[in-house]
Amino acid sequence: MTNDSILWGTLHRHLPRKRWIPIADIFRIVQHRIPLDTEDLEHVNSHSKIIRWESNVRRILHSKRRDGTISARKSP
């Protein structure tokens, strides 16, 4: 499974600065820049449609938002 430091390092290097980016675009960056393994591609649990690596990316972004590393656009 791809660890958090690889996911964050990739995002940090390839996301544009000071610009809001849709989550779908963030996911595309990960898919194109990181060779995801079978564990990354598993569903979070048997009742979920969410794939593990996507959940991990969301968790990392949430954590970085909480600590002030990144900011999120406010909903209207």
Question: According to the 3-state scheme, what is the secondary structure of the chain?
Answer: CCCHHHHHHHHHHHCCCCCCCCHHHHHHHHHHHCCCCCCCCCECCCCCCCEHHHHHHHHHHHHHHHCCCCCCCCCC
Chain position carrying tokens 């390092």: 9
pLDDT in tens, 23-64: 999 999 999 999 999 999 999 998 989 999 999 999 999 999
* pLDDT for 75: 53
- Nearest residue to 11 via CA among 67, 66, 54: 54
